[in-house]
A and B are shown apart, each in its own frame.
Chain A
Amino acid sequence: MTPGMTPVATPFFFYFLSALAVISGVLVITRRNAVHSALALIVTLLAVSGLYLMLYAPFVAGVQIIVYAGGIMVLFLFVIMLVNLERTVKERQFNRIWPVGVVAAVALLGLFVSVFVKGKNLFPEPRIPLAEANNTQQVGIMLYGNYMFAFEIASLLLLVAILGAVIMAKKRI
């Protein structure tokens, strides 16, 4: 960033994107129709990828859009199409112990936020911004350098997942 350029309205964009992410996250878990949930989840994923851009991580933002919004969500929509049942829309959507789950999860949120606010001074100020221009290059160098072994293990994991998914979806094994 050249000196003299100010960041583009950072607080406003942050609040806008996080409100978008949280509201569509609520829609994901409350909608009756699974297709509506999937569309709300796509909005959440796009908002989170905007937050990545604000954190100087353009490569992760691109991966988020291509792999999540483009790949995983298409898989979800195909499966919804395959297993779509008319009667599931009319049925009860929440199980019997849902108040317990909601109370426990809200207590967890309170715990998180209180810990973050109490330990506020432990978080150092963000360092100088990461170089955005060669971010992809730097990530690539790290993937093939420090994280070489983990990278190969990840490719093996994907191979196993492909085989597992194909075999389980076959008609008869």
Chain B
Amino acid sequence: MVPITTLHYLVVAAALFVLGVIGVLTRRNVVIVLMSIELILNAVNLNLVAFSRMWGNLHGQVFSIFIVVDAAAEAAVGLGILIAFFRNKETINVDEIDLLKW
């Protein structure tokens, strides 16, 4: 079997990233769109940690911790907006959230 190189990890991360992009572009349920964004952020983290391994230092790992902090903040604010919107409109479909579209 071929040994596992950085390239393998990059391909897995690219696959996860593309799955997240498909979820964001095609789903109607806002909760699942937010979960797809989490998939994208995980792909970024995997890339950072793989590069950290490649260069033999820890900068990539520290950056991936900052990405996790951002993901937590994004999820909290996004779900707060979702609850506020659901209370007013009784829908969680992306294509029915068109208040600003004239």
Contact = CB atoms under 8 A, between A and B. Distances in A.
A14 B50 CA distance: 13
Interface string B48-80: 011011111111011011101111111111011
Main secondary structure of the interface of A (DSSP, over half): helix
Given A139-B58, A143-B65, A157-B70, A79 B15 contact: no
B77 A168 contact: yes
Given A60-B49, A67-B72, A123-B54, A166 B80 contact: yes
B46 to A, nearest CB: 6
A162 B76 contact: yes
A165 B80 contact: yes
Contacts of B54: 123-124, 126-127
Nearest to B36: A29
Interface residues of B, number: 75
A18 B58 CA distance: 23
Given A95-B95, A105-B18, A60 B29 contact: no
Given A29-B26, A102-B26, A22 B83 contact: no
A53 to B, nearest CB: 10
Contacts of A11: 1-4
Nearest to A14: B4
A126 B9 CA distance: 12
Given A95-B95, A169-B80, 16 more contacts: A14-B4, A28-B35, A29-B36, A38-B35, A45-B42, A48-B46, A60-B61, A60-B64, A93-B27, A101-B22, A109-B15, A112-B14, A116-B14, A123-B7, A127-B55, A154-B69
15 contacts: A28-B19, A56-B53, A63-B65, A68-B38, A75-B76, A79-B83, A83-B82, A93-B28, A93-B29, A98-B26, A120-B7, A126-B6, A142-B59, A161-B73, A161-B74
